[in-house]
Amino acid sequence: MAKRTGHIGAACAVALAICGPAALAAPLGLPPVPIPADNPQTPEKIKLGDRLFHDKRFSSTGQVACANCHKAELVFTDGLKVSQGIHGLKGTRNAPTVVNAAYMKTLFWDGREPDLEGQSQQPFVNPVEMGLKDHRPILKIVRTDPAYAAAFQRVFGKSGEEITMTEVAQAIASFERTLVSGDSPFDRYYYGGDRHAMTPAQIRGLEVFVNQGRCVSCHTIEQTQALFTDNRFHNIGIGFKRIRGKENRLAEQFITAKRGGANVDVTVLTSKDMSEMGRFAVTENLTQIGAFKTPTLRNVARTAPYMHDGSLKTLKEVVDFYNNGGRLRESDPVDDFQSGGIRPLNLSKRQKADLVAFLEALTSPQYVKRVPGPAASRKPAAH
Amino acid sequence: MKKPINRRDFLKRGGALLAAGALPMSLVEIAYGKDSKEQGFTFAYISDSHITHVRGKEFVRNWDRGLIQAVAEANLLTPRPDFIMYGGDIAQLGKREEIDHGLEILSGLRGKARYVMGEHDYYLDLGKYWRSKLGRDHYSFDHKGVHFIVLNSILTYDEWTYHRWPSAAERMHQMARLDNPHGSPFMVGDAQREWLRKELEKVSVDTPLVVFSHSPLQKIYKGWNFWTDDAEQVQALLKPFKKVTVLYGHVHQIQYNQIGNISFHSAMATAWPWPYPQSFSQAPSHLPKLTVPMDRADPFFERDGTGWQFINLHTGHVDAHYLLPDNQNRVVAYDAALGHPVDTVFQAEDRRIPPQTHY
């Protein structure tokens, strides 16, 4: 049986060779973090990004930072059904975790940004998130605040007007690329050779996950790593009820609005109906109506509630939903755009319980500590 | 070597390249002579659903879902297509349950649907139930200056059809197999070719012709019946016409070809994809030159390599817009300068979709 440390050591060696000295070593079960050539990691840049990520001044009310919806103590989610921005305004989608987002091939539930640099610039100027009219107030702060000015000079060799949103976004993205977590009981069992890392129920649950449960079709596990996402978009049937029968009108309205210059980012977060169009809003591809990105399952036991609309409160509800073939109740209709890969699974009570147990084995050591109270009902901290 | 994706590419991929699946259709350039009698129009073209009965009320879910999705998407096209063409093989083994179930799903289409006979619809009861539901298996109609012809191109020798098999079910099973040494080549047959000859006598050679068949009216690969035995004779009847397009199903993959004056376009299947066949060397074949390979279908993605298409008909020629789930949509259009269809986006060597090498 291989020793765990041996594996981690090997991962570090690989990571360092590929990513250079600034990259974090990949934890057990994960590949090296992909770092864009034009935005190498440096300790100073990461520190700057961390500060930007937590700065509430980058919102119209001075009360909302990135960290409002991506709280470290909740695995960088917010525990809410859908996120709350300025003045308690609600968006249409559940805040995905930032942890391991560095591995995502596209960002946002509908993949409308290709990288963290692009993603991080959007919430500032979304009317229901941080509410700025444009990015100018942010630039004003980072150019004039002495601590920021000194940091941007050190990190990018730039000052005053030379500092743009590009540098701001690069720093935030660099910080986010440090938020990686593997080394869960599953990783130690599957990749580390520790047969006792998972409980018997979790081991049975893994078997359900890859076989009868068909979860692995989208939440991938590979020979040397497991991202638990295929980076694709699927219509699994969640939330579509809302727009059933309205697809035609909505698709037309959306395209017309987009041609007229409407902003996709704003539209999907301010209109509940449009939000349910999913990936279609980005690609205008009819085959992607109601399709959303497969999220990672790492730390999933700590990131309730679930699905793009936060409509499922517990992992048990999620398992039941899939077991019914992408329906809350077996009597619910199936939407016409639902992926053919979603089908009733006929799992027994015990298989469902084992599957939930397995999902609980995907929590990394640094996120094991539970926050008191059920996450789904936690109120956001008052400002 | 795949270039890393840059932002501009990313945004473009999210727009222009996908115009095929986009609405409204004003993005599709419809250009035809001002003094021409022809008007541009579109129709949807769905094919090869292979609805498969399991037992009782159970059907293979994945094939159901493929057809359901195609119907739902076709209903979203704006402006509405003038009609919907179904390219054959509603059923898998010609059973009434399968034809009924398929037609029930297809009844959700907004607009008039017309049908082509496929061998899977035919060889159980020789098309009796299909005809009772859908009428004739070969016919013609005119639409906005274009003459459409529908052929039943999946017939074969009488001896094979009527005198060889102990049961209808056995006959169906034999015809449903690939690489079957006991199989028999498809043909349009003497009677239908005579009907076609008379039919074409009434049509001016200047009128654009569109011919629908299930099997390709060309010889591609005999072992899978990507083949019509009397293809040359059918092609000869079409030769006098200035603009001829053949649209066929059966092959479950994108093919396009030009033989003389005739452009050929295939339809994707809503059920499953077939790989590209190797050229068949036992007989002369017109294997279309494979220039833009499709990705190998991803076994983890149940809709990969399937799809449906809408056809934009203008200047008497066809642009076939392929809607491919979770893939880059393709438009294969007739290029007047070159005189044959081209893959508008991926024809050039450096634009092709790199085939997947690893999952």
Contacts of residue B15 in chain A, CB cutoff 8 Å?
283-284
Contacts 24+ apart (CB under 8 A), B55-64: B59/B97, B59/B98, B59/B101, B60/B92, B61/A340, B61/A343, B62/A340, B62/B271, B62/B302, B63/B92, B63/B270, B63/B271, B63/B272, B64/A340, B64/B101, B64/B105
To probe the interface with B, which of A280, A287, A288 has the most B CB atoms within 10 Å? A287
For residue A314, count CB atoms less than 10 angstroms from its CB and return exposed for 0-12, middle for 13-18, buried for 19 or more: middle
Distance CA B268, CA B284 (A): 25
C-alpha to C-alpha distance for A351 and A361, rounded to whole angstroms: 15
Rounded (to 5) percent helix, strand, coil in chain B: 25, 20, 55
pLDDT (tens digit, 9 = 90+) per residue, B132-187? 999 999 999 999 999 999 999 999 999 999 999 999 999 999 999 988 999 999 99
Confidence check: pLDDT of B27 > 50: no
Q: Count of CB contacts below 8 A, A vs B?
A: 93
* Interatomic CA distance for residues A325 and A344, integer angstroms: 4
Residue A23 to residue A145: CA distance in whole angstroms? 29
pLDDT at A21: 39
Task: Give the DSSP H or E segment for B111.
Answer: none
**What's the pLDDT at B288?**
62
Rounded CA-CA distance A183/A192 in Å is 9
CB atoms under 10 Å from CB of A135, counted, come to 16
Average pLDDT, rounded, for chain A: 89
DSSP summary character for residue B155? B
Of the candidates B7, B21, B65, the beta carbon closest to that of A340 is on B65
Return the higher-pLDDT residue of A295 and A330.
A295
Per-residue pLDDT averaged across A215-241, rounded?
Answer: 93
Beta carbons of B311 and B248 less than 8 angstroms apart: no
Q: Which pLDDT does position B22 carry in this prediction?
A: 39
Q: Which of B69, B108, B300 sits opposite A217 (nearest CB)?
A: B300
- Of A31-40, A187-196, B3-12, B224-233, least confident by mean pLDDT is B3-12
Among B69, B78, B105, B270, most A C-beta atoms within 10 A, so best to mutate, is: B69
Closest CA to A291 of A307, A313, A276, A302: A276
Residue A149 neighbours by CB under 8 Å, 6+ apart: A142, A143, A159
Q: Which of A366-380, B9-23, B99-113 has the lowest mean pLDDT?
A: B9-23
- Look at residue B355 in the predicted model and tell me its pLDDT: 61
Measured distance CA(B319)–CA(B265) in Å, rounded: 9
Q: Given an 8 Å threshold on Cβ–Cβ distance, is B68 in contact with A336?
A: yes
Strand partners for B45: B85, B309
Determine how many CB atoms are found less than 10 A away from the CB of residue A141. Answer: 16
Q: Which chain A residues contact residue B13 at CB under 8 A?
A: 283
Write the pLDDT tens digit of every residue in B276-301.
776 545 555 555 666 676 666 777 77
Contact B21 A284 (CB under 8 A): yes
Per-residue model confidence as pLDDT tens digits over A96-128: 999 999 999 999 999 999 999 999 999 999 999
Position A37 pLDDT exceeds 90: yes
Whole-angstrom Cα distance, residue B268 to residue B327?
13
Residues within 8 A of B (CB atoms), A 271-290 only: 282-289
| Surface-to-core class of residue A67, CB atoms within 10 Å of its CB (0-12 exposed, 13-18 middle, 19+ buried) | middle
d(CA B192, CA B213): 12
Q: How far is residue A197's CA from residue A186's CA, in Å, rounded to a whole number?
A: 7
- pLDDT score of A264: 82
Out of A230, A287, A291, closest to residue B73 by CB = A287
* A137 at interface of B, judged by CB pairs closer than 8 A: no
Residue A327, pLDDT > 90, answer: yes
Write the DSSP assignment of B260-306 as a string of letters: TTEEEEE---SS-PPPPPPPP-SS---PPP--SPPPPP-TTSTTTT-
CA distance B228 to B247: 14
Q: Where is average pLDDT lowest: A196-200, A318-322, B351-355?
A: B351-355
Q: Which pLDDT band holds residue A375 (cuts at 50, 70, 90)?
A: very low
Is B7 in contact with A282 (Cβ distance < 8 A)?
A: no
Q: What is the pLDDT of residue A370?
A: 59
Taking the C-alpha atoms of B229, B226, B339 and B318 in order, what is their torsion angle to the nearest 10 degrees?
A: 110
The region that residue A317 occupies, defined by phi over 0 for left and psi between -120 and 50 for alpha, beta otherwise, is: alpha
Q: Smallest CA–CA separation between A319 and chain B, in Å?
A: 20
> Mind telling me how many Å the CA of B301 is from chain A's nearest CA?
7
- Res A340: pLDDT: 84
Q: Residue B53: which H helix or E strand, with range?
A: strand B53-55
Residue type, A22: A
